[in-house]
Structure formats: structure tokens, C-alpha cells
Amino acid sequence: MTALTLSTAGAATLRADAVVVGVAKSGKTLVVAPGAEAVDQAFDGGLAAVLETLGATGAEGEATKLPAPAALKAPVVLAVGLGSVAEDDKDASGFGTEALRRAAGTAARVLAGAKKAAFALPIGSPEDVVAIGEGALLGAYAYTAYQEDGEGRKKPLGEVALLGAKPRDKAYKAAAERAVAVAEEMNRARDLINQPPNDLTPAAFAAVAQAAGKEHGLKVQVLDEKALAKGGFGGILGVGVGSVNPPRLVKIAYTHPKAERTLALVGKGITYDSGGISLKPAGHNETMKCDMSGAAAVFAAVVAAARLGLAVNVTGWLALAENMPSGSATRPGDVLRMYSGKTVEVLNTDAEGRLVLADALTRASEEEPDAIVDVATLTGAMVLALGNRTFGIMSNDDAYRTAIHEIAGEVGEASWPMPLPADLRKGMDSTTADMANMGERMGGGLVAGLFLKEFVGEGITWAHLDIAGPAFHESAPYGYIPKGGTGSSVRTLVRLAERTADGEI
């Protein structure tokens, strides 16, 4: 695990394998960002000119290595691009936290194999410490649990030393601790998402939650298949009945003695989604181990809230099942009686996420929280609408939807508010049951949201995050985003819990 420290040393005097500096494009000129003054001085004020000679432009995601002059203790200088700044920003100080987070992530990835790196990026506030710390720890992430160590395999960067971060200042120290807690839990979520489904069964995921509960003082309750049957959880059972790995419903609760509000988080946890009898074709099922990303995000957010000691009660509900075809699997045309008592005609067994979430939403509603947020890799329609990097937000309260959208932007996660058009509800009418699990094909992501809305308790504020696009990254890594599980929505959920604790929402 990569360590994060705050250092009082200067960029020229700290012994490390490399020193990281930021550069940016100001008009047609390359400029060195604040924090790198000592490094620039070691180049006699000509660092930008040297980098331009090497082809550096300051573009976001760019990384340029060069040998360090004798005046620096580190043998290598790594310049990472921060993007463009206004031409009148002569000291290149106008960077947003997300630009810093991405630059730090790029640097950490490039420096894989190094034991220690000094990050001399612009730090003007505790928020900058959070961004750079998160970016570096997330960028250093690598999933190697199933790979043998070899000469060609580099270990993640060992230590990130942040320079200019005032280590004796309580606010800066707290910012570093927050970065560590959030990044480590995001990386825990990534580990779960990347774990092969033959090992991460519903029972195995539940065991991970139980272990975390013991470690962090959380109350964990696990309902196995017998308890689910006795309780009437027809949605979760209906999805999991076709697998030899039976389903689970996990409640993981963090409580604070001074909390005045309760936030419930519900996560879709399909540990593998074959589509069931409505089988997915080849080319669409190879990455379906990631269909539990919502449950991983919820789990990580609850643990992060506990580690940060937030003055809010946060309860996570992990709806875990494996969706497989077999002689015992739910068939298209079957009717399930949900935990709420409502009956649902299953027209497509590959629309299973909404079935497990429905039961969990009803159960979460019984505890009358102040708000419920569910997170799910729910629909391909949302990916078609918003692409691979943006998640959709739906809600029964427009102000709450707006608040979550703003929070996501604040922590650097791309999102977009989506409607819940009432006219699409009629498409889920059934002549056999109270409703069907499918509706109109066009607007399928919105239809799924409308389905879930039916299972939220009356008077409870609710939001639905469809993270189908950004939950699993299949292309080359960029910034602090690796290939594979990303931990999408964890930062948004943690910040939402903080805002709820502060009474701002």
C-alpha cells in the first residue's frame, strides 16, 4: 500500500527517487506551476525551456522525465501537465482540484517501481492536499492478486511525500488523513470489482463486509438464502435462484453518538451477471464481474464514513446475488412477489439489478432514514446516453438531485441529472402482475429509475445513481483511473455523507 506523508523538506533537499513538478500551457508558453520554484532554480530558471525542447506542452495527462541537475537530491524530475491556464495567470496558480488530482495520478502511475517520490505540485489549501493525496494514492493502484511477481512487473510507488503542505497545521494534517481514508476505501472497492467472480461470490462479499465491520466497529447483519425466503425477499431470491452460489442481503451500519440524521445507501451487488435465461451474447459478458460495483461503492463509502468519524448515521445495504441460467432459474414470464408485497412479471431476466435493488430499497425504507441513495451499474441505456465517464442521477426530489450533481462535480466525478418522465411508467404495466420489470426500450435508463421509485417508502427523499458507464474502465489508464474497476461514486457518497452531517442537505 502506497504511503502518504507531509514533508517540511524542500524540493531540492529531500532525498527521493524523483521529484514531481507541474507545468501548464499559458497561451503559447509553457510555464512552471507553483511549488516547483526550487527545482526551476536548479535549472537556472530554465526548466520550462528545457521541457519545451523535449516536446512538453503542459497538456493534461502528459508526463515528461528528465535527469535532475546536481543541485537536487533526487536524480529524476518528472513534469506532469496540468492543462491550460489563462494568459494573465502569470504564476500559473489557477488550477482546479481535479486538475491536481489527475496530474498526481499520472505521476504515481509513471513512477511505478520507485520507492519514494516528492510531489512539488501547487498546494494553497487543505483541499489541494486532499486532491493531490487522493490522486497519487489512486494513481498508484494496481491489482496484482492473481499475478506472480516477476522481473518485469513493477511494484506500485512506495511513498508519496507532499511538499509545501504544512504538516504541523491541523487542517492540512486532517486533509491528508481524509485523502488516505477515501483513497484506501476506493481502492478496496476496486479490488472487489476486479476480483474474479468464481472467488467473489455473494457469500464471499458478505464475509468481506463482516471482516470490515469487526475492524472498524460497524454493525453487520447478513441474511442468507433461508432468511431471505423467510422474510419474503422475492426479488433478491428470484435473481439468485438459478445459481449454486445463493444470494445475500447485507446490512452494514455506522452510527455516531452525535448524529442527528441518517443516510441509507443501497448498492446493486450482482457478483456475476450472465443475463440469466435472457442470456447475454458473447462480447457482452466478459466484464460482468463488475456488476457489483454499486455494492462495492456503498460498502467503501460506509467504511470511509466510519474512518472519518462523520457525525451522521450511514447504513449500507448490499443486495448480493449471482444471475445465472439453470433449470431452477427464473424464466421470462415468471411472477415474483417482492419484499414490499408488490408482484412483478419478469419479462427479461437480464433486467435483474432493479429486482434486487427493489427489495433492498423497501427494507431500507422501513428504517425511515432521512434519505436513500442507491448506486448501480443498472442500464446500458445510461451508457448510450452519457458515455463511459459520466453517471446519471435521478431522484424524486429535484433539489436533492441538484445537490448530488453539485457534490459530484466538487469531488471531481462527472455526473448528469436525468428526469423521471411519468409517461414512461405506463410501459411497465402488466396484465398478469402489478407491474413488469421492463418498459419502453427508448429511455431505458429512465424506465429503470421509475421502477425503483415504486419501492421507495412514502415521504422519503431518494436518489438513484446509474454508474454503468464509469464503473469499469476497459481502455488505457488515464490520470488516476486504472484499467478495470474504478471505484466510481465513492467520493460523491462520502462527500454527501459529510454534507448531511454538517446539516447542509
Its sign, for the CA torsion 406, 411, 416, 420, is negative
> Phi and psi at residue 29, in whole multiples of 5°?
-110, 140
Catalytic residue chosen out of the listed positions 102, 188, 354, 495? 354
> Has 280 been annotated as catalytic?
yes
Please give the single-letter amino acid code of residue 496. Answer: L
List all residues 6 or more positions away from 401 whose beta carbon is below 8 Å from its beta carbon.
393, 394, 395, 417, 463
Separation in Å, CA 282 to CA 285, 287, 379, 485: 6, 11, 18, 21
Catalytic residue chosen out of the listed positions 73, 166, 173, 280? 280
Q: Are 279 and 229 in contact (CB under 8 A)?
A: no
Using DSSP, state whether 52 is helix, strand or coil. helix
> Has 354 been annotated as catalytic?
yes
List all residues 6 or more positions away from 424 whose beta carbon is below 8 Å from its beta carbon.
439, 440, 443, 446, 447, 450
H/E element holding 10? none
H/E element holding 206? helix 202-216
- DSSP3 helix / strand / coil % (the chain, rounded to 5): 35, 20, 45
Q: Are 62 and 30 in contact (CB under 8 A)?
A: no
What are the catalytic residues? 280, 354
